[in-house]
């Protein structure tokens, strides 16, 4: 699909050769950026340059938005039966399965996450999410409201329109699937800007979108810098919605930019999620989940349970067992090596940002006023502190600006549910951590975001409810 000069043949460190597109994808075509600017992609494991890709400017965003607007009105998409939209999404998921080794290779090369994780977790998340929303394509219905013998009303669910989607680097393709799945199932068109640290996998994925049969202009992909391409998208007057995943600081900027035309917004932002371990918890289970909850994906997870609160009676035992778990499981190494649990952080800048908070990365006896208790670090970095009572645990859990995830470990059934209700967060795990699922709504409260992705709730972010009043009386 890629035209001359906008694709290169690459061989990844695991020996896999493939064709890497490097262009912008607008209206079903690979094109160069208007500004002639490129973005360098780097292998975080070696810090070697992989390839440079086109970096979109404001005028490229203008073209992509115009293409998305035209596609929204074109019969090829607008008049497509809802079941056929679903079929396109199913076909896309099948193509991802066929190309999963290549996609996982690119993800590992560009992002640094272990290959086994990219292959078995990220790609499963992509296909699972696409298939879940494929099934919803022909099940997004309105309601009928009977008011009197002379009047009724009905609602229809319409696409929101042209959706700008801005995504982060920690799960490049999964984050794209979370946003594309429901947007396309509901009949929207999209301009997506990936994170500048991980521009590659989505470009390969685009060819699969075309092969699946989506009409030109339905999905447009513009790599580029947040301050340029991202800002142009968030402030564009002809974009109806912005869906963003990233930091809380950037989300504030985006809200400001989107305010100009009062855009519909979904924001998934940062977190400092608590994991509470009560004296009566199954300690080994708590230790294993607590480890996964902060150390998987190099700690680069917005819902990472990065504050561990442990009841006094088991505090020392928990801390010792947790450190032991890290020694046994968190093997740091080459992301293409199967034995590696922990690859490099996504960039040197991110690595250094984490180290600002100091080394090593397990802090015990933390107090609530400390920065490491309040600020999102976004790395394999955890603050552990003891508590006495359930009341104190809930107060500590709720003592930050964030409210994304949370976890509770206890064998006391009523306490588990009571604490789950009392914690201020969009998600609570009882006796687990971060085992997210595309069938379950995902999102935050407080400064962790607005709106929900995934699950049936994720459809609400991509459809407007129109109410149609029907009067059957001929005289007022
Ligand atoms: P970020 O700066 O907020 O970036 C996220 C996305 O927004 C990227 O595509 C970025 O482009 C773009 N962007 C940056 N500035 C922009 C602007 N002024 N206008 C429009 N778009 C803009 O986040 P990051 O530092 O790369 O990622 C790490 C942080 O993201 C973490 O600290 C964490 O808080 C958050 N995060 C949250 C979630 C979640 O699901 N809630 C998931 C992952 C990450 P560039 O790549 O060019 O900067
Ligand atoms: Mg990279």
Question: For 430-473, what is each residue's pLDDT tens digit?
Answer: 999 999 999 999 999 999 999 999 999 999 999 999 999 999 99
**pLDDT tens for residues 93-116?**
999 999 999 999 999 999 999 999
The pLDDT confidence band at residue 199, using thresholds 50, 70 and 90, is very high
Q: State the ligand closest to the CA atom of 52.
A: 2
The Cα 152–Cα 468 span in angstroms is 9
Residue 191's closest CA among 252, 228, 243?
A: 243
CA angle (268 as vertex; 267, 273 as ends), nearest 5: 140
Q: How far is the CA of 246 from the centre of ligand 1 (A)?
A: 3
What's residue 342's pLDDT? 87
**Which atom of ligand 1 is found nearest the CA of 171?**
43
Does residue 342 line the site of ligand 1, with CB under 6 A? no
Is pLDDT at 138 greater than 90 in this prediction?
yes
Q: How confident is the model at residue 142 (pLDDT cuts 50, 70, 90)?
A: very high
Confidence at residue 348, expressed as pLDDT on a 0 to 100 scale: 87
What are 362-382's pLDDT values in tens digits?
A: 888 888 988 888 998 888 889
Q: Which residues of 115-150 are buried (b: 16+ CB within 10 A; e: fewer)?
A: bbbbbebbbebbbbbbbbbbebbeebebeeeeeeee
Ligand 1 close to Cβ of residue 235 (< 6 A)? no
Q: State the pLDDT at residue 4.
A: 64
- And the tokens for 263? 């855009």
Per-residue pLDDT reduced to its tens digit, 405-434:
999 999 999 999 999 999 999 999 999 999
- Residue 131 scores a pLDDT above 80: yes
Query: For a pLDDT cut of 70, what percent of the chain falls above it?
Result: 99
Inter-residue contact 157 to 209 (CB < 8 Å): no
For residue 196, the ligand 1 atom closest to its alpha carbon is 46
pLDDT (tens digit per residue) in 153-164: 999 999 999 999
Which bound ligand lies closest to the C-alpha atom of 298? 1
pLDDT, tens digit, 9 for 90 and up, residues 321-341? 999 999 888 888 899 999 898
Residue 87: pLDDT band by 50, 70, 90 thresholds? Answer: very high
Answer yes or no: is the C-beta of 193 below 6 A from any ligand 1 atom: yes
Query: Has residue 1 got a pLDDT over 70?
Result: no
Atom of ligand 1 nearest to the CA of 271: 34
Inter-CA distances, 176 with 45, 61, 293, 378, Å: 23, 18, 22, 20
Closest among 293, 65, 92 to 185, alpha carbons compared = 92
> What is the overall mean pLDDT for the chain?
95
Q: Is the CB of 114 under 6 A from ligand 1?
A: no
| DSSP letters spanning 357-407 | T-SSSEE-S--TTSHHHHS---SS-EEEEEESSHHHHHHHHT-SS--S--E
Taken in order of first residue, the domains within the chain and their CATH numbers are 7-269+453-460 (3.40.605.10), 274-436 (3.40.309.10)
Protein residue with least CA distance to atom 20, ligand 1:
230
Residues with CB under 5 A from ligand 2 (ion): 41-42, 110, 197
Q: How far is the CA of 196 from the centre of ligand 1 (A)?
A: 9
pLDDT confidence of residue 358: 62
Ligand 1 mean position to 144 CA, how many Å?
A: 41
Over range 201-205, report the average pLDDT: 98
CB-based contact 218:80 (threshold 8 Å): no
The pLDDT tens digits for 35-69 are 899 999 999 999 999 999 999 999 999 999 999 99
Q: Is the CB of 43 under 6 A from ligand 1?
A: no
Q: How far apart are CA 70 and CA 77, in angstroms?
A: 10
Confidence check: pLDDT of 3 > 70: no
Q: Taking residues 211-235, what's their average pLDDT?
A: 98
């Amino acid at each position: 699909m890629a035209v001359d000069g906008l694709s290169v043949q690459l061989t990844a460190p695991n020996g896999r050769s493939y064709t890497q597109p490097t262009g912008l994808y607008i209206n079903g075509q690979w094109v160069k950026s208007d500004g002639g600017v490129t973005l360098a992609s780097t292998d975080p494991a070696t810090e070697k340059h992989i390839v440079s890709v086109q970096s979109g400017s404001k005028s490229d965003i203008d073209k992509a938005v115009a293409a998305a607007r035209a596609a929204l009105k074109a019969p090829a998409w607008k008049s497509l039966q809802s079941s056929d939209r679903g079929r396109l999404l199913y076909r896309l998921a099948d193509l991802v399965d066929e190309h999963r080794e290549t996609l996982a290779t690119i993800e590992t090369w560009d992002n640094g996450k272990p290959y086994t994780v990219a292959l078995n977790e990220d790609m499963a998340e992509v296909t699972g999410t696409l298939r879940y929303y494929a099934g919803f394509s022909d099940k997004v219905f309105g309601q009928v409201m009977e008011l009197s013998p002379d009047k009724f009303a009905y609602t229809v669910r319409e696409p929101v329109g042209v959706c700008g989607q801005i995504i982060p680097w920690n799960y490049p393709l999964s984050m794209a699937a979370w946003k594309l799945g429901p947007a396309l199932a509901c009949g929207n068109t999209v301009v997506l800007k990936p994170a500048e640290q991980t521009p590659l996998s989505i470009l390969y994925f685009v060819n699969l979108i075309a092969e699946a049969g989506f009409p030109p202009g339905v999905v447009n992909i513009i790599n580029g810098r947040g301050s340029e391409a991202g800002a142009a998208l968030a402030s564009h007057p002809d974009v109806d919605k912005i869906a963003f995943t990233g930091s809380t600081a950037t989300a504030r900027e985006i809200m400001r930019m989107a305010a100009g035309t009062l855009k519909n917004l979904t924001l998934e932002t940062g977190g400092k999620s608590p994991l509470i371990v009560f004296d009566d918890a199954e300690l080994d289970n708590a230790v294993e989940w607590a480890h996964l909850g902060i150390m998987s994906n190099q700690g680069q997870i917005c819902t990472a349970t990065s504050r561990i609160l442990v009841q006094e009676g088991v505090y020392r035992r928990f801390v010792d067992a947790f450190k032991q778990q890290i020694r046994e499981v968190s093997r740091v190494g080459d992301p293409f090596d199967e034995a590696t649990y922990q690859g490099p952080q996504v960039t040197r800048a991110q690595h250094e940002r984490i180290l600002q908070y100091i080394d090593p990365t397990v802090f015990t006896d933390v107090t609530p006023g400390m920065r490491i208790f309040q600020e999102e670090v976004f790395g394999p970095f955890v603050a552990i502190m003891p508590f006495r009572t359930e009341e104190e645990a809930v107060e500590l859990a709720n003592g930050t600006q964030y409210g994304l995830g949370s976890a509770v470990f206890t064998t006391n059934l009523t306490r588990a549910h009571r604490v789950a209700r009392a914690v201020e967060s969009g998600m609570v795990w009882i006796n687990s951590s971060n085992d997210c699922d595309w069938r379950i709504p995902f999102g935050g409260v407080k400064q962790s975001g607005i709106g929900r992705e995934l699950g049936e709730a994720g459809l609400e972010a991509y459809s407007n409810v129109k109410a149609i009043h029907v009067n059957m009386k001929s005289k007022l």
